Structure 1
């Protein structure tokens, strides 16, 4: 039976509620177990009834359907996901829970409940699970939905305009049966995603983490959601070894070549010559060294320059935190504060905001502008500088440059300007909704880059989201969806050619 993509996502979400229901039942929390079980059961019944009513209908294929289903999932699915959460926590309002589920599904990870003790273990598991499913959705959607339309970063490499279908043989087969492509991508990527999550969970438990905390952190690292049941990695007590394991798994958010070669971003040369991966590693090495040098010079002012132990922890804290925010995960090392204790200098939150804006790799769970677009702008800038010195020079593209189309830098610049305009517009709307300018800027960057933990570390004082006005919460919910799908995808939904098809 060929069912609509959105209906399939609704059914999967309904079945997934049985996991927290079973978890609450094991913990003897009957009220929470009933909330998730009944909500999941009603969702499954609704799914079956709609599927039966849809039987016999000829599905309409085309470019618009899957993209519209993806947009609808991020906007409407949080309503269904919020129902058991609200039933298990009746002391809050629906708008807060809807924001929480939208934040989790878009892998943003911003939370209304800054005090982890307000939520029970099952609700923490549900937040992490929704974020994990949102990450898996983006893994699949990148190859099955965004790549054929040259969106989500593929517009820099594809030989077509953003929002238009490929005209090659592969694209014709996708247009004929897009569900076949979705099924093929799911078969290839879902086992990898699940396997990596289970492996990280086992490694974190071997390092001494509690099973619940370990599985939540494992799901959050793979989905780059930054959701934690204990308020962050710094409160888990896993030590440097546990953070090192998490850092290795964050590498999957730097480039899609780390786990798949199913998209046009995969070209000759492999991971070693992948510009996204190389730029990401350069940032992870260069930025911590600059931060360490700053703290090292400050440490001499307080006679701590010869304390090698504090120096090592300060350097490691910077490496882990830079990698985490570059991949838009948002976890902070437990040694991040050690650098401040060592030198007496605070780390500017603007650095973390800049890292989140750069973001991770194309077709990964990371948000932000994406490293491939940054590479396109850098490559074009370097070429223009060369032409200033040698105006009549002829330059070969090279192995890395062949990944970009001739006007890839122009399209990357257009996206960057759209991103900047979106950032300015959301900041303006938040200030009109009663938020101070400093907080509005941090919130805008956090939502558009899908890096929720910025609200705790990028400002002088943590921002309490639950204290924001209703209008501000609605604006941020829309901004998170915009940041997850990106501006070009939203514009593509308004393209008349797609509606005619």
Structure 2
């Protein structure tokens, strides 16, 4: 049997932290004179009580190392359990969401997806708005730690390729892993503060600036207004959002290296260069489509194209305009972008750019072998050859990624929704993007019209996508639970 004590102890600590942070929206509502501050205090008390109870039940006098099965179970349990307790304010506050919708909102926040079932954001109490933004921020730093600490060890989807980037044993980036975590958290804080300051300088109120900064750096996308970033009608805010969405899409380990004086790593990184190249390519295509369709011209068309491409590829999901009215070519382009994602070790979701690079290299290798059957052509990434195990892991992940998307989409379609809604809802959940396509869940609407059955399916899809699929699916194997 799996020893659950260290898992319970870690979950207890995470819940205690989450419960403590519930005092943030409590203070915001108290200052604003809103009665909901009592709700957050009560939710905080419940969450902290359960957290301390789990910690007391699982703590040990010995420092234990998690084995592989414990790591898988802890990773999945963290997002499932934290989402359950994070949903309490959504149920008890003035939003009064049923449990399915509240859990969906919390899961969307912690996985930095940004899909929402809450309407009339402009009239909501400030506490619930800052709580949604903070869930993004809290989940974002958790995702970074998960990506650089757990995934290389679990060897999922080619992530073993990044063991050298995240392990203090291989390159001695910092003396201890704890110092690396501290450096990454410091970088995360600095970027969040800088983003909030820039937003305020561009015209946002302090409250909006802080809330949108947390949603931007975490590439989450929850806004304080129904119209999202489009509410402000500001080109300066649009460009500021683009800069910081890209910042949240880059590997945070590279920021630590830059702070240590190694500036070359950020510009020399293969994944970063490919991500930025794809952003430029798809921005150009979107710009041309707008000009050809007489949708927008000049700087406006360029800004709309750049903002939407970065928002989708970074899996942030902010919106300035409803691009679903731009015609079929644009819908097709943005549907493709929903799959891609950004860089490993960032807060973004999706396939990740490094997998696209490896698949492209593997395809080139296969074509060369067809022409030269006796030639030796290794698959390369960043100029260095990579093992067949990494290639197989990446191809397996992509196959499962597309399969998961297709299954969820077909189930949603079978429940009575059109193909555009079903397919875009599925991919936007699995890729942790946020808005979908079509009139039901498009960028001008939200997910409130969906029934509980679809809401639970999408909540599961968000969990699967954020935890790289295998981390969740392996728990359903009987052999996983055997000695």
Q: In 2 relative to 1, CA 346–208 (structure 1 residues): closer, same or farther, beyond 3 Å?
A: farther
Q: In 2 relative to 1, CA 498–245 (structure 1 residues): closer, same or farther, beyond 3 Å?
A: same
Equivalence map 1:439-478=2 (5 Å): 439-455=421-437, 464-478=446-460
Find out whether 1:38 has 2:42 as its counterpart: yes
Which residue is 2:23 aligned to? 18
| From 358, 365, 376, the counterpart of 2:347 | 365
SS in 1 for 2:300: helix
Q: In 2 relative to 1, CA 500–156 (structure 1 residues): closer, same or farther, beyond 3 Å?
A: farther
| From 40, 51, 74, the counterpart of 1:69 | 74
Cα deviation for residue 382 of structure 1 reads 2.0
* Structure 1: gaps of 5 or more residues: 160-165, 172-179
Deviations 1:441-480 (A, max 9, x none): 1110110000112257897785652222221111111111
Equivalence map 1:95-134=2 (5 Å): 95-117=100-122, 119-134=124-139
Q: Distance in 2 between matches of 1:56 and 1:396?
A: 48
Deviations 1:131-184 (A, max 9, x none): 11111100111122222222364145669xxxxxx9x9959xxxxxxxx84x44
Answer whether contact 1:359 1:366 (CA < 8 A) is retained: yes
Which residue is 2:330 aligned to? 348
Q: In 2 relative to 1, CA 43–458 (structure 1 residues): closer, same or farther, beyond 3 Å?
A: closer
Q: In 2 relative to 1, CA 368–82 (structure 1 residues): closer, same or farther, beyond 3 Å?
A: same
Cα deviation for residue 494 of structure 1 reads 5.2
Cα deviation for residue 435 of structure 1 reads 2.5
Cα deviation for residue 282 of structure 1 reads 1.3
Cα deviation for residue 490 of structure 1 reads 2.3
Q: Distance in 2 between matches of 1:457 and 1:125?
A: 28
Cα deviation for residue 346 of structure 1 reads 7.0
Answer whether contact 1:292 1:318 (CA < 8 A) is retained: yes
SS in 2 for 1:368: coil
| From 411, 420, 423, the counterpart of 2:405 | 423
Cα deviation for residue 395 of structure 1 reads 4.8
Which residue is 1:331 aligned to? 318
Cα deviation for residue 192 of structure 1 reads 1.3
Cα deviation for residue 88 of structure 1 reads 1.1
CA RMSD of aligned residues (A): 3.3
Cα deviation for residue 20 of structure 1 reads 0.5
Answer whether contact 1:252 1:258 (CA < 8 A) is retained: no
Cα deviation for residue 21 of structure 1 reads 0.5
Deviations 1:220-249 (A, max 9, x none): 111111110113544342622222222222
SS in 1 for 2:382: helix
SS in 1 for 2:287: helix
Deviations 1:233-276 (A, max 9, x none): 443426222222222222234431542459xxxx9972333221
Find out whether 1:271 has 2:266 as its counterpart: yes
Which residue is 1:311 aligned to? 298
Q: Distance in 2 between matches of 1:223 and 1:457?
A: 27
Q: Distance in 2 between matches of 1:137 and 1:169?
A: 19
Answer whether contact 1:207 1:238 (CA < 8 A) is retained: no
Which residue is 1:215 aligned to? 210
Q: Distance in 2 between matches of 1:232 and 1:147?
A: 38
* Structure 2: gaps of 5 or more residues: 171-175
Which residue is 1:175 aligned to? none
Which residue is 2:173 aligned to? none
Deviations 1:28-48 (A, max 9, x none): 11x211110121123223333
Which residue is 1:150 aligned to? 155
Relative to the length of structure 1, the TM-score reads 0.83
Which residue is 1:176 aligned to? none
Which residue is 2:307 aligned to? 320
Q: Distance in 2 between matches of 1:383 and 1:157?
A: 22
Q: In 2 relative to 1, CA 394–268 (structure 1 residues): closer, same or farther, beyond 3 Å?
A: farther
